[in-house]
């Protein structure tokens, strides 16, 4: 199975900050990488697929990049509604696997 890691596991940031989260796959997955946002007690929300394509309705402050084994999610200017946990997921091969998550909270 492909193992996904994320760094950092948590971070504290201020409103307006630029935030970058890294996701790494244990083997190459081309661009078959998705990002999700989850707030406490809520269902996940899909943000990005194919490493850099925004899901419908997702604001452009979110962006994704990478290919192969190393990927990043960037939030250009953190807003109060962006404080949440972010997960990456590979869908290059079964079983699909998620990263452990990165919690973004308020500094």
Q: Which tokens go with 86?
A: 């972010």
Is 99 a residue that touches other proteins (CB under 8 A)? yes
Q: Per CB under 8 A, which of residues 5..34 are in contact with other proteins?
A: 34
Which class for 101: exposed (0-12), middle (13-18), buried (19 or more C-beta within 10 A)? Answer: middle
One-character DSSP codes across 42-79: S--EEEEETTTEEPTT--TTEEEEEETTEEEEEESS--
Among 21, 51, 89, 104, binds other proteins (CB under 8 A): 89
Among 38, 52, 65, 69, binds other proteins (CB under 8 A): 38
Residues found in the chain: 107
Is 80 a residue that touches other proteins (CB under 8 A)? no
Smallest distance, other proteins to C-beta of residue 43, A = 4
72, 20 contact by CB (below 8 A): yes
Smallest distance, other proteins to C-beta of residue 15, A = 26
Contact positions vs other proteins (CB under 8 A): 1, 34, 36, 38, 43-46, 49-50, 55-56, 87, 89, 91, 94-101
């Amino acid at each position: 199975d492909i193992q996904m890691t994320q760094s950092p596991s948590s971070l504290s940031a201020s409103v307006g900050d630029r935030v970058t989260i890294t996701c790494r796959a244990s083997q190459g997955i081309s661009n078959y990488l998705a990002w999700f946002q989850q707030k406490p007690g809520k269902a996940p929300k899909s943000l990005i697929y194919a490493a850099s394509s925004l899901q419908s309705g997702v604001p452009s402050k979110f962006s994704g990049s990478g290919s192969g084994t190393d990927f990043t999610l960037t939030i250009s200017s953190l807003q109060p509604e962006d404080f949440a946990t972010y997960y990456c997921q590979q869908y290059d091969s079964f079983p699909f696997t998620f990263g452990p998550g990165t919690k973004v909270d308020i500094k």
